[in-house]
Structure 1
Amino acid sequence: MTLHVLFTEDGTPGWIGDTPRAGSEPVEDLMIEFLAAHRRTARGKWVARGPVKPEAPTPEAEAEAAEAEYQAALQQRSEAVREALSIEADPQFFRWQRGEASREDWLEAVARVKARFPKPERL
């Protein structure tokens, strides 16, 4: 079977097809799987391609990831504070409104909740 291959500068098959294309070369008796896993040297020898090294993230990508992580932590903290306030501080607020507790009792309950869930810091 003849395949037509368009090679990149380093000898990696960049395009493989069963019909000719401008700049492609015919390759006899090689399967697509082989071509995908190998490259051709300048001397025409086929060598296995190594694993692709992952690219290091750009500073912008790292900043975006850090911001996303910070926003997620803020959201998680907000939900935890909201739930804790509804359980612990809201009853104190309503007792204060009915004259059964002082405003300071309510504010202390709010402060205790907020102390348990500090705001996350940006890295």
Structure 2
Amino acid sequence: IKDVLTAEENLSWLSALHHPASRDAIWQALAAVGLKGFEDVPCHTLSAGQQRRVALARLYLPGPPLWILDEPFTALDKQGVAQLEVHLAQHCEQGGLVVLTTHHTLARMPAGYRELDLGRWSL
């Protein structure tokens, strides 16, 4: 996320890398993550949780079926965590694949869920 860009500009720029999204699709993605009304707000003025939501809004736009996420639950409130868990599970149920690192224990396990606990592998 580029701090000087608005939430809409960030998503427009990021989506242009793979599958350009319309303004309506971008606004719907921001609404889906609870940022309706923040479309034109520069990201440097948003809280850490809101900035995380801008980044996660990309998952609501057309894109590749493989999502690689590093600590996606960081800075999210309980509602945001629950919503993300549902969205990840839906993506997997629709044939997508998610690879993620997290310290968060998932309450909802997607279909085909596999876990690799690196704590069990010490060097």
Please report the TM-score for the alignment, with normalisation by the length of structure 2: 0.23
Give the structure, 1 or 2, with the largest relative contact order (CA under 8 Å, sep 6 or more).
2
Please report the TM-score for the alignment, with normalisation by the length of structure 1: 0.23
Q: Please say which structure displays the higher CA radius of gyration.
A: 1
